[in-house]
Amino acid sequence: MSGRSRFLPYLLLAPSVLFLAALFVVPLVETIAISFSDNGAPTLDHYRRMAGDLNFWPAVKNTFLLVVTVVPLQVAIALGMASMLQKLPRGRDLVLWIWTIPLGVSDLAAGLVWLALLQERGYLNSALAALGLIDGPTQWLTYETPGTLFVGILLAEVWRATAIVFIILVAGLQLIPKEYREAAEIFGASPWTTFRRITLPLLKPSLQTALILRTVLAFEVFAVVYAIAGRNFPVLVGEAYVWQRDNQAYGVAAAYAVLIVVISLAATVVYLRVLRSRTEERS
């Protein structure tokens, strides 16, 4: 009986481990192999071609630009939303439900929704024209208007993916015992001090999770950008897709994939180090 219970956890874990190994580790190893070989011979050619391509540096720049603007913005907005939700005496579930609607929308669909809003004959232009602010259809999303194009993508990404950060933070906030805040109130701490000294430190584990999740996903941004900007705004995953699908150069596509994995892993390590929570430090 005791022998059985010792193996039971492993037995239970085995299917998921096997599943992940088969569908994640194997393809990952194969992708790395493809990126470093050409007809069986080892080579760095695919990486050279990737780095030498006209869209490589724009893609790197655009991807990082999106990450460093979208993620902080989303965390700030989600923190605000989560704190406000805490204060609601009633109707919390309804607000929570409405705020998380974008979670249920696929990213390509979200991109298409924003395209419909922002394109030349979209709702934004109709509204602006009705208000007399523009004369006729104005183009916001072309290669000639990189600024508004970027803002468009930013809006869509913030709209689409803030909810996931928000959900994680709401869960984190609910884990913080009320007594801390009540004690702070009794000692006359201002709301801002309470937030800074109590909420934020205790929220760290949730923040860490949210940040890792969102940053990794932001580095993988694709469908929204593809729908709104097409090839006007190259990003890393988009380039991987183009090399795989259009250029049929699987080695270069694999090189992009490996690069994205490396960047995501690096970001995760940075977060784990910077945001290490106190309990972890002690143990």
Partner 1 sequence: MNAISRLTVAGLAGLAAALAFVPAYAQQQDVVFLSTQLRPIEEAQKVREVILKGFPGKVTYLVEEPPQFDVRMRAEGQAGRRTVSLAGALHGELSALQPSGDLQAIDDIAAKVKDRGIPANLMELGRFGTGKQVYIPWMQATYIMVANKKALQYLPPGADIDSLTYDQLEAWGKAMTDKAGKRLIGFPAGPKGLMPRFFEGYLYPSFTGGVVTTFRSPEAEQMWTKFAALWKYVTPNSTSYDFMQEPLMGEEVWVAFDHVARVKEALVQMPQDFVTFPAPAGPKGRGYMPVIAGLAIPTGAPNRDGAVALIEHLTKPQTQIVTAAEVGFFPVVKAELPADLSPGIKLIASAVAKTQNAPDALPALLPVGLADKGGEFNKVYFDAFQRIVLRGEPVKEVLEAQAGVLKGIMEATKAPCWAPDKPSQGACPVQ
User: Min. distance of Cβ 142 from partner 1 in angstroms?
Assistant: 4
Interaction of residue 24 with partner 1, rule CB under 8 A: no
State which of positions 229-268 bind partner 1 (CB under 8 A): 229-232, 242, 244-249
- Tokens 């995501």 correspond to 264
Among 1, 12, 101, 186, binds partner 1 (CB under 8 A): 12
Helices 250-274 and 45-52, axial angle in degrees (round to 10): 80
Interaction of residue 7 with partner 1, rule CB under 8 A: no
Among 24, 57, 123, 143, binds partner 1 (CB under 8 A): 143
Site size with partner 1, rule: CB under 8 A: 26
Residue 144 CA to residue 140 CA, distance in Å, equals 9
Tell how far CA 78 is from the center of its chain. Answer: 13
Among 30, 93, 120, 182, binds partner 1 (CB under 8 A): 120
Interaction of residue 40 with partner 1, rule CB under 8 A: no
State which of positions 94-113 bind partner 1 (CB under 8 A): none
User: Min. distance of Cβ 143 from partner 1 in angstroms?
Assistant: 6
Dihedral, 245, 122, 232, 133 alpha carbons, nearest 10: 180
Distances (CA, A) of 129 to 122, 126, 138, 150, 223: 11, 5, 9, 22, 29
Dihedral, 96, 101, 106, 108 alpha carbons, nearest 10: -120
Site residues (CB under 8 A) for partner 1? 8, 11-12, 15, 54, 120-121, 136, 139, 141-145, 226, 229-232, 242, 244-249
